[in-house]
Chains A and B, each alone.
Chain A
Amino acid sequence: MVPQSNSNKMKIKGKEIDLKNIGKIILSIALGTGIGLIVYGIFLYFNIAIFGWNLGLIFAPLAAGYVETVVANRILGRNLGAISAFILFIDTTVYSFILKNPTLGTNLITAGSIIVILQAAFPTLINYILLVIIGAIISNLSWSFKKIIRTLKKIKSHIRWETENIEEEIIEEDIYFDENESNERLNSLNFFFITSTDMENRKHELLGIYQSEVVIENKVKIKLKDDELEKKNLKNIKEGKDKCLINLSKKIKEAGGNGILDLHIQYGLIGLGTDYIHITATGMGINILKE
Chain B
Amino acid sequence: MILTSSNTLENKEIIEYKGLVTGESLIGSNIYKDIFSGVRDVVGGRTTKYEEELGKARDIAFKSMEEKAKNLGANAIIGLKISYDNLGGTMGNTILVTAYGTAIKFE
Contact = CB atoms under 8 A, between A and B. Distances in A.
A274 B87 contact: yes
Contacts of A173: none
A241 B22 contact: yes
A108 interface: no
B100 interface: yes
Contacts of A113: none
B79 A194 contact: yes
Nearest to B32: A225
Interface string A184-222: 101100001111111111100000000000000010111
A227 B89 CA distance: 12
Nearest to A260: B20
B72 A265 contact: no
Contacts of A263: 20, 79, 100
Contacts, number: 125
Given A197-B79, A200-B8, A218 B90 contact: no
Interface string B71-107: 1100000111101011111100010101011100000
Nearest to B89: A220
Interface string B49-70: 0000000000000001001100
Given A187-B20, A200-B7, A221 B68 contact: no
A195 B83 contact: no
B26 A233 contact: yes
Contacts of B100: 195, 263, 265
Nearest to B31: A224
Contact of A264 (B24, B81, B86): B81
Interface string B5-33: 01110000110011111101110111110
14 contacts: A192-B19, A196-B7, A196-B102, A197-B79, A202-B17, A220-B29, A223-B90, A231-B26, A237-B26, A263-B20, A266-B83, A267-B87, A267-B98, A277-B87
